[in-house]
Amino acid sequence: MQMGSELSYESSHKLLDQYIEKGYYKLDTAQMYPVPGSQDHFCLTEKLLGDWVKKHTVNDQSKIRISTKFPNYSKRLTYLRKNKSNIISYQELKDSITSSLKRLNIPIIDIYYIHWPSRATNNFGKSFYESSGNETSICYELEETYSNLMMLKKEGLCRSIGVSNETSIALYSLKSATKESRDIDLYLQNSYNILNPTLDINITEFCLSTGIKIQAHSPLAFGVLTGKYQNNALPRDSRRKLYPNYFDRYLTPRSCFMISELDQLCSEFKINIIELSYRFLLNNPAVSEIVIGVKNRDQLDYAIHSIEKGKLPAEIYKSIQQLLQEHSITSW
């Protein structure tokens, strides 16, 4: 989501080349990228990826798997979707995915997501749900939307479908809308990290029991879990330095205290906090992928090296859980 803003076209293409040189071909983007979002840059990251795809051999192109997302209505970013309806129509979805396919220069989207809910939910920094008074229509609206999304899969425009930044009621509706189709993988892409382990309250159980796969985004909590922002530090090349106040969601006094506690745990077990953060997510058996966001070769190498080590040993994982139970960290 930084390709085209923080990362230039040239730097992005170089990093993507380094990624597939390692034998990895799955990529995740969205129409609203890069962030911070702007009308001038709308769909720029998709175009950047499409230009990169064209540079490769037919053999490499056949291996590349790109997921992208439908941009829902936003009060702040009104250019994303004009329609405010909670139901996203088949035609809206069809027009949107068709335009993404053209920009990306690929024949099929890997996973097509709805980027965020039409309704108000407790996400993007809001921890507690407030009743809207019209919850009785939510399941109907979601099931109709997801039935429309499923039609794209049936037409061969995407391999799988998913929802992003969603709640358990959306997963219930997604499963209901696709109950006649047993040959499709369903995905949830939500924020999931040590500072925001709220998926484990009830969503992990639902996903494990229904087979919905979790893709964990923001595994390092916008860089907060690297520890680089401790003691009010503001590194020169950081996202928070480039875009003040845009990436502060996880930077709270409780989070900073938690980083200090995790640093002590890392010293005890002789493990880097970045590796700890990535591997923590792999202890959840519902997690199918971790969405990494890196800016250079060193970060790419370290992320992949950490994840390839697999889940944390039980003793370390138990220690993290104990910290979470004692300090009840919720940043989402």
pLDDT at 321: 93
Q: Inform me whether the pLDDT recorded for 314 exceeds 90.
A: yes
Q: Inform me whether the pLDDT recorded for 125 exceeds 90.
A: no
- For the chain, the domain total comes to 1
Considering only residues 76 and 105, tell me which one the structure prediction assigns the higher pLDDT.
105
Please give the average per-residue pLDDT across 152-162, as a whole number.
98
Confidence label for 331 from pLDDT (cuts 50, 70 and 90): very low
Query: Is 178 a domain residue?
Result: yes
Strands 287-290 and 158-164, sheet pairing: unpaired
Query: Is 282 a domain residue?
Result: no
Percent of all residues in the chain with a pLDDT value above 70, rounded to a whole number: 98
φ, ψ (nearest 5 deg) of residue 28: -130, 130
Percent of all residues in the chain with a pLDDT value above 90, rounded to a whole number: 83
Query: Is 208 a domain residue?
Result: no
Considering only residues 326 and 301, tell me which one the structure prediction assigns the higher pLDDT.
301
Expressed as residue numbers, the domain containing 106 is 1-191
CA-nearest of 191, 222, 214, 207 to 332 is 191
Confidence label for 329 from pLDDT (cuts 50, 70 and 90): low
Q: Inform me whether the pLDDT recorded for 198 exceeds 80.
A: yes
pLDDT at 328: 67
CA-nearest of 87, 71, 65 to 16 is 65
Q: What is the pLDDT of residues 215-249, one digit of tens each?
A: 999 999 999 999 999 999 999 888 889 888 888 88
Query: Is 160 a domain residue?
Result: yes
Query: Is 272 a domain residue?
Result: no
Query: Is 81 a domain residue?
Result: yes
Instruction: Give the range with max mean pLDDT: 10-14, 34-38, 127-131, 231-235.
Output: 10-14
Query: Is 327 a domain residue?
Result: no
Average pLDDT taken over every residue of the chain: 94
> Cα 118 to the chain's mean position, in Å?
17
Q: Inform me whether the pLDDT recorded for 161 exceeds 80.
A: yes
Please give the average per-residue pLDDT across 263-285, as a whole number.
98
Scanning the structure block, which residue is given the tokens 């993507």?
Answer: 16
Q: Which two tokens stand for residue 109?
A: 């989207």
pLDDT at 247: 81
pLDDT at 62: 96
pLDDT at 114: 98
Query: Is 300 a domain residue?
Result: no
Q: Inform me whether the pLDDT recorded for 332 exceeds 50.
A: no
Q: Inform me whether the pLDDT recorded for 163 exceeds 90.
A: yes
Q: How many CA atoms lie within 13 A of 318 on its CB side?
A: 3
Please give the average per-residue pLDDT across 203-214, as a whole number.
97
CATH code assigned at 125: 3.20.20.100
Please give the average per-residue pLDDT across 60-82, as a whole number.
95
Please give the average per-residue pLDDT across 89-96, as a whole number.
98
